[in-house]
Amino acid sequence: MKQGLSLRVSQHLALTPQLQQSIRLLQLSTLELSQEVEQMLDENPFLERTAEEAPREEFGLEAADAPVRDEDRQAEGETDFAPGSAAAPAEVAVAATGDAEAAAPADSEPDWEGDGTVDLAPDDSEWGGDAPARANNLGDDERTDATELARSQESLQSFLHRQALSLRLGENDCAALRFLIESLNDDGYLEDSLPALASGLAGDDNDQFDELVHHFQVALGLLQSLEPAGVGARSLGECLTIQLRQLASARESEEEAQVRKTAIAICKQPMELLARRDFKRLATLTRSNEDEVRAALQLIAKLEPKPGRRFVDVERNIVVPDVIVTRIGHGTNAKFRVMLNPEVMPRLRVHDIYAGALKQHKGEGSQALSQRLQEARWFIKNIQQRFDTILRVSNAIVERQKSYFVHGELAMRPLVLREIADELGLHESTISRVTTAKYMATPYGTVELKYFFGSALGTETGGNASSTAVRALIKQFVSAEDVKKPLSDSQVSEMLKEQGIECARRTVAKYREALRIAPANLRKAL
């Protein structure tokens, strides 16, 4: 075997630590980014948060190399700002017509102060009907109150214990009531039977078992008399019955009393009949007429099937948009302005004093400190690049989906990640990271950026219809149907074909399930 030496040239992609951090920051949500910033502020002494809005050069790298003294800043009249703030609005207005502007190169300096407002001329007159708006206009005070409410919510057990303090009970009954309260699940139901609870405490002592069952029965009656109505029930029928009995009052008429009595009788029947709204069968079982059964079902529909729902201690997710789209003007003169939300943008800069001290004194340990300084510079630059990418992608989305911002979700057009990636010169994976867990505040509500992407369905004219628009159309058909003869999936498919949209029955079923719409047999009022 003869040995030899050969030289070969090849190319490969190396993921540097800076590039890895940039990719990771890009896919973080707003909450995760905030946590990442707080962690970096705790770990890196060269990174600091500006009390006011930092100037653009301090958001980047220049300030780290040349510390700015206070007297110099005052002499030059500098003011701090962050990208997207009033001093440097990170906003780009897009038109609803015309070709999109050429995307800036990936390595170019982001134009935070540019204003690309273009006139809007909606030419899609074939689209009709606006989708209902989901308002999310929380002010700063209201958003703070909602957050505090989510964190300071009282539990169901605490609420019941507070009510139990007003009851005059013996020691044993009080202990039994407290035990039952602690045995409730999150929905306010008592999942275990009274004998099962008593056997777990008494063991093999029969006398103690009988005594515990007696105390539990007394405590259960007291528990079911507390607020919220229906708490302590052992089944859905019992929960609804308790609430119906508490509705009794001296002011109710004879007719109202009869309807309530019929509703109580219905709750004693199998819940499947109630779910199917089988009026004839329920009328026969409760010995009532169909009109009374209909009135009773309307009364039952107003009750709360899960009394403990509002007491569940779950942190409410308050969606804060990363991008805000506002409409300026109406009709043919309307424009849309896309801007980053300044509330979610961290205001960071490199600490001037520490950076200057490190530059002037090169001694023992300076190499490790220089590395920390470089990490702070990379972090600031990567955050700046993250928001710049989000703004560019949002700009392209609004340009492509201009019909949605004029007419609503019925006018949504097919869009895939590759279209935006090709337009901006980015990879599809980058667009996927940008659109995940990032939200846009639109005139029709706050939606995730992925909401604007949907597959295409063929039409008779040879064009394409967005799956989002088809789902909105299905929801519109179902809302206008006759409850006595609800539309089947096949009928909905035929109605879509009449609109020129080719959509198979199985596709309609998939979209209906995604919209959480029950099948026709459950929507039918028998």
> How confident is the prediction for the chain on average, in pLDDT?
77
User: Residue 432: which pLDDT band, with cuts at 50, 70 and 90?
Assistant: very high
pLDDT at 434: 92
124, pLDDT greater than 60: no
**DSSP category for residue 49:** E
361: phi then psi, degrees, rounded to nearest 5: -120, 105
User: Residue 323: which pLDDT band, with cuts at 50, 70 and 90?
Assistant: very high
Domains and CATH numbers, the chain: 156-223 (no CATH), 236-311 (no CATH), 455-526 (1.10.10.60)
Mean pLDDT of 158-171: 87
Give the residue from 468, 461, 472 showing the smallest Cα distance to 502.
Answer: 461
Query: CB within 8 A of 460, min separation 6: which ones?
Result: 500, 502
Lowest mean pLDDT among 37-41, 58-62, 493-497, 511-515: 58-62
pLDDT at 369: 83
Choice between 402 and 67, residue whose per-residue pLDDT is larger = 402
Mean pLDDT of 153-179: 87
Alpha-carbon gap, residue 113 to 392, rounded angstroms:
14
pLDDT at 52: 55
485: phi then psi, degrees, rounded to nearest 5: -135, 75
Choice between 250 and 49, residue whose per-residue pLDDT is larger = 49
Alpha-carbon gap, residue 176 to 159, rounded angstroms:
17
Alpha-carbon gap, residue 526 to 524, rounded angstroms:
6
Contact at 8 Å (CB) between 79 and 54? no
Contacts 24+ apart (CB under 8 A), 421-426: 423/100, 423/103, 423/396, 424/103, 424/392, 424/393, 424/396, 425/103, 425/105, 425/106, 426/106, 426/389, 426/393
Contact at 8 Å (CB) between 52 and 416? no
pLDDT at 468: 84
457: phi then psi, degrees, rounded to nearest 5: -115, 140
Neighbours of 285 (CB within 10 A): 16
pLDDT at 394: 94
pLDDT at 314: 52
Question: What's the number of CA atoms in the CB half-sphere (13 Å) around residue 11?
Answer: 0
Expressed in angstroms, the distance from the first to the final Cα of the chain is 88
Q: Rounded to the nearest 10 degrees, what angle do helices 17-26 and 428-435 cross at? A: 50
Residue 269: both structure tokens together? 């029947």
Alpha-carbon gap, residue 410 to 395, rounded angstroms:
21
Most confident of 317-326, 349-358, 441-450: 441-450
Asked if omega into 228 is within 30° of 0 (cis), the reply is yes
326: phi then psi, degrees, rounded to nearest 5: -120, 145
69, pLDDT greater than 90: no
157 class by beta-carbon count within 10 Å (0-12 exposed, 13-18 middle, 19+ buried): middle
User: Residue 316: which pLDDT band, with cuts at 50, 70 and 90?
Assistant: low
Mean pLDDT of 329-339: 78
Residue 202: both structure tokens together? 């008494």
207, pLDDT greater than 70: yes
In 203-309, alpha helices (H): 206-223, 236-246, 254-267, 271-276, 279-286, 290-300
Give the residue from 140, 53, 116 showing the smallest Cα distance to 88.
Answer: 53
pLDDT at 340: 93
pLDDT at 462: 66
User: pLDDT digit string (tens) for 13-53?
Assistant: 777 888 888 888 888 888 889 899 999 899 988 888 886 54
How far is CA 283 from each of CA 265, 274, 484, 490, rounded to the nearest angstrom? 10, 11, 17, 32
Residue 36: both structure tokens together? 């990442």
Lowest mean pLDDT among 114-123, 296-305, 426-435, 442-451: 114-123
pLDDT at 94: 38
331, pLDDT greater than 80: no
258, pLDDT greater than 70: yes
383: phi then psi, degrees, rounded to nearest 5: -65, -40
pLDDT at 98: 37
Query: Full-prediction pTM beyond 0.75?
Result: no
492, pLDDT greater than 70: yes
pLDDT at 417: 92
- Got the DSSP string for 376-388? HHHHHHHHHHHHH
Contact at 8 Å (CB) between 123 and 147? no
440, pLDDT greater than 90: yes
Mean pLDDT of 420-426: 93
Lowest mean pLDDT among 11-15, 28-32, 183-187, 330-334: 330-334
pLDDT at 83: 40
Distance of CA 420 to the CA centre of its chain: 24
Alpha-carbon gap, residue 459 to 466, rounded angstroms:
10
- Kindly state the percentage of the chain with pLDDT values over 90: 16
The DSSP bridge partners found for residue 415 are: 454
339, pLDDT greater than 90: yes
202, pLDDT greater than 80: no
Contact at 8 Å (CB) between 259 and 288? no
